[in-house]
A and B are shown apart, each in its own frame.
Chain A
């Protein structure tokens, strides 16, 4: 699941659950998750060195 897809899904879920105020902190979490996925310690199944390119 890409982070953008994940973010759309979790914001929709939070709104369905009556928690629209979660949206800004979920957007913050999405930025943190992008950074985590871009970190150079991540390894890959194709054997290529580390990091996934940061998404815009």
Chain B
């Protein structure tokens, strides 16, 4: 499938139309969604009508910019006016959104065509997309495997060419994890940068919204629309020679699948050869990360779900319900300890970035896991899938730093590997410029 940038050029050269690209996405959805289960709702009629109207606008001289006429799929956690926001849960039965989430309104204003709403781990509370009231989404590269989560249907829809971009949300890695599992780019901007109103929350203190795309340039175009500052072209890359990256090996490289490790080291070597300086650095309290994240997300999620856990517990997926119930037992004093730890981690990441343009580390320690697997073998030891999948991404949800996942080659079995770059808070644009510069070196030739 063409990128947003390629589509924009073809559209303005009158070589295609919004309606044509929407129909192509809908054709792929019809052909492949039955086996991938990426969509909860396909908005075929609405998408065609939107696309025709945008074609009329362009013919009349009104050009909304780079997203004009671009088919985008939306995680079914965002409100789109007039449609249900299911959060992949029976708890939300009967819901119809009466207005767009702010992020959706900005995309609509920028000319995006909403092709449908995508499957996810129920209430975004999981990394595999297995616990959904609509059944698991599947990875287009190997349908026996998870597309990652929680934005698994989103990543699957993009990787299968059912949309040119997709919107995800991210509380512990739910944009970057599925991007890594499906071989796409995934951008988590700085915490608070993109409004989360009109998005069903998981943790109001750690939720982010952001795009998954085929390229960094496309991610920049969607990001700029999301912050309300659309521009005609992506930002220019910085010169790659002279960049300096911190590599947090301790903790972050301790537990890696051997092929993921190999692809990461190869990407580092290509960057080094291109003139990037790489310094090993340490996030001193990284080992405390998992417990800090756990106490925050459990308590935040439990507060939101307390009423429905009492009134309709049978409507939750079993595993999600149990995790939410666990959150109701977190003591206030331990939540406060986690908040203190969060501030320590934020300062440590700020300090690590002080002398560096970005941090670089793998995104996902393993290739996409098999659906149904509770554990995965790493270095001959069985590790819990959920903990492993969150291990490298959740830090930057806790601290709020922007992070972007880029494909970095594949395993011998053809499964994608991924590298993430992390930038300074409130400097997502700078991170994107760095990522644009590095993309040709990180992505395996």
Binding site for B on A (CB under 8 A): 1, 6, 10, 13-14, 19, 21-22, 25-26, 29, 32-33, 35-37, 39-43
Contact = CB atoms under 8 A, between A and B. Distances in A.
Contacts of B330: 29
Contact of A40 (B285, B326, B329, B338): B285
Nearest to A13: B329
Contacts of B274: none
Contact of A32 (B291, B322, B331): B291
A43 B343 CA distance: 13
Given A32-B291, A35-B291, A41-B344, A10 B338 contact: no
Given A6-B331, A32-B294, A43-B340, 6 more contacts: A10-B329, A22-B326, A32-B290, A32-B295, A33-B334, A35-B291
B250 interface: no
A56 to B, nearest CB: 18
A42 B291 CA distance: 13
Contacts of B322: 19, 21-22, 25
Given A22-B326, A25-B322, A42-B337, A36 B331 contact: no
Interface of A is mostly: helix
B301 interface: no
A13 B341 CA distance: 29
Nearest to B288: A39
Contacts of B285: 39-41
B323 interface: yes
Nearest to B334: A33
A49 B298 CA distance: 28
B11 interface: no
Contacts of A36: 288, 291-292, 295, 334, 337-338, 341
Given A40-B285, A41-B285, A26 B329 contact: yes
A6 to B, nearest CB: 7
A36 B294 CA distance: 10
B341 A41 contact: yes
A37 B325 CA distance: 21
Contacts of A6: 329, 331
Contacts, number: 57
B286 to A, nearest CB: 11
Interface string B278-290: 0000000100101
Contact of B325 (A22, A32, A43): A22
Interface of B: 285, 288, 290-292, 294-295, 298, 322-323, 325-326, 329-331, 334, 337-338, 340-341, 344
Nearest to A10: B329
Given A22-B326, A26-B326, A41 B331 contact: no
B326 A25 contact: yes
Given A25-B323, A29-B326, A41 B295 contact: no
The 8 closest A-B pairs by CB, nearest first: A32-B291, A36-B291, A10-B329, A41-B344, A39-B288, A35-B291, A25-B326, A32-B294
Contacts of A29: 294, 298, 326, 329-330
A42 B333 CA distance: 11
Nearest to A43: B340
Nearest to B284: A40
A39 B341 contact: yes
B405 to A, nearest CB: 26
A6 B295 CA distance: 15
A21 to B, nearest CB: 6
B326 A37 contact: no
A19 B11 CA distance: 57
Nearest to A28: B326
A42 B340 contact: yes
13 contacts: A1-B331, A19-B325, A22-B326, A29-B294, A29-B326, A29-B330, A32-B290, A33-B295, A33-B331, A35-B288, A36-B288, A42-B337, A42-B340
A21 B323 CA distance: 11
Nearest to B338: A36
Nearest to A41: B344
A36 B291 CA distance: 6
